[in-house]
């Protein structure tokens, strides 16, 4: 069974045509991989479907805009994977 | 349909909030300046307007599901296929089903048929945002009345 990171890295590689081996847990989806907001909608759709969750993108965006969070917390892929794991765990609780 | 005003929906014939589906019916006008250029002597409904018709139908579904609190904007179109020419006077039946209700976006599958014959289909992604201003919200409310969008009380589901 692949890890959460592997799943999202594969989704990003396929959705955005980015070489899979250039995507690491430390990659920032926006700053390092150059993913824009429209492509991220496709990624979010694929993640939502793959994990059976609803990434709270609006809440995250609001937190970043309000200065309550940094983009690193949500868009560095190891952190994104951790957030997804939390959402999956909350769903099953 | 008033092509020049991008009013592509004539009426909502069914809205089912529990199934997350909508149907609209729309008649291609017999004359329009659009047909003067597309094409002279051979009028065809442009494919981009068929896309817009599916997007607007999908949009009304999203508006209704969000209880007129959010506004959808077209963000992406995938797998669009145009199977049959559409000419002036044709009646277009449009169906859309919500495939996914994301955070700040929605994805629908939409298709158009005419007299049971497939016309086109596509997967549509909409950004879903707060209304940018009250003028648009009031405009959408007024349009909903014109189109016969069922109120929350009379919509299925």
Q: Residues A60-81: pLDDT tens digits? A: 999 999 999 999 999 999 999 9
Q: Are B108 and B96 in contact (CB under 8 A)?
A: yes
Q: Are B7 and B28 in contact (CB under 8 A)?
A: no
Helix (H, G, I), strand (E, B) or coil at B85: coil
Taking the CA of residue A76 and the nearest CA in chain B, the distance in Å comes to: 19
Taking the CA of residue B132 and the nearest CA in chain A, the distance in Å comes to: 16
Confidence bin at B153 (pLDDT 50/70/90)? very low
The pLDDT tens digits of the residues spanning B13-52 come to 999 999 999 999 999 999 999 999 999 999 999 999 999 9
Nearest C-alpha neighbor of A36 from the set A48, A25, A44, A47: A44
Distance from C-alpha of A56 to C-alpha of B107, rounded to nearest angstrom:
16
Q: What is the dihedral of CA A29, A32, A34, A39, to 10 degrees?
A: -10
Residues of B within 8 A of A59 (CB-CB) are: 103
- What does DSSP say about strands B11-16 and B70-82: parallel, antiparallel, or unpaired? unpaired
Q: Find, in chain B, the residue whose alpha carbon is nearest to that of A38.
A: B75
Taking the CA of residue B102 and the nearest CA in chain A, the distance in Å comes to: 6
Is B38 tagged catalytic? yes
Average pLDDT score over residue span B63-77: 95
Report chain B's mean pLDDT, rounded to a whole number. 94
Nearest C-alpha neighbor of B51 from the set B10, B89, B11, B8: B8
Distance from C-alpha of B70 to C-alpha of A85, rounded to nearest angstrom:
29
Residues of A within 8 A of B101 (CB-CB) are: 54
Question: What contacts A81, CB < 8 A, 6 or more positions away?
Answer: A3, A4, A5, A8, A25
The residues on A that touch B, with CB distances below 8 Å, are 38, 41-42, 44-45, 48-49, 54-59, 61
Asked if the model's pLDDT at residue B151 lies above 80, the reply is no
pLDDT at residue B5, as a whole number: 87
Whole-angstrom Cα Rg for chain A: 13
Q: Find, in chain A, the residue whose alpha carbon is nearest to that of B130.
A: A58
The pLDDT tens digits of the residues spanning A6-45 come to 999 999 999 999 999 999 999 999 999 999 989 999 999 9
Q: Find, in chain B, the residue whose alpha carbon is nearest to that of A44.
A: B102
Q: Which residue has the tokens 């909030």?
A: B17
B102 CB near a chain A CB, below 8 Å?
A: yes
pLDDT at residue B150, as a whole number: 75
């Amino acid at each position: 069974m692949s890890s959460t990171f592997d799943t999202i890295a594969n989704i990003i590689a396929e959705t955005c045509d980015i070489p899979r081996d250039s995507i690491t847990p430390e990659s920032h989806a926006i700053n390092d991989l150059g993913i824009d907001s429209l492509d991220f909608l496709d990624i979010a759709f694929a993640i939502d479907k793959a994990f059976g969750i609803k990434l709270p993108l609006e809440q995250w965006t609001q937190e970043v805009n309000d200065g309550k969070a940094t983009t690193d917390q949500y868009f560095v892929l190891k952190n994104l994977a951790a957030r997804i794991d939390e959402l999956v765990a909350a769903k099953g609780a | 349909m008033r092509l020049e005003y991008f009013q592509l929906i004539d009426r909502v014939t069914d809205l089912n909030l529990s199934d997350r589906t909508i149907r609209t019916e729309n008649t291609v006008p017999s004359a329009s300046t659009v047909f003067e250029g597309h094409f002279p002597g051979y009028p065809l409904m442009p494919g981009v307007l068929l896309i817009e018709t599916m997007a607007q139908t999908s949009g009304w579904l999203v508006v209704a599901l969000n209880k007129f609190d959010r506004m959808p904007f077209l963000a992406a179109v995938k797998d669009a296929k145009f199977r049959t020419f559409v000419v002036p006077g044709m009646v277009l039946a449009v169906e859309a089903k919500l495939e996914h209700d994301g955070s700040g976006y929605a994805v629908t599958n939409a298709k158009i048929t005419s007299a049971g014959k497939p016309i086109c289909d596509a997967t549509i992604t909409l950004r879903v945002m707060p209304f940018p201003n009250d003028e648009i919200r009031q405009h959408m409310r007024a349009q909903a009345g014109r189109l016969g969008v069922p109120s929350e009380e009379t919509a299925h589901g």
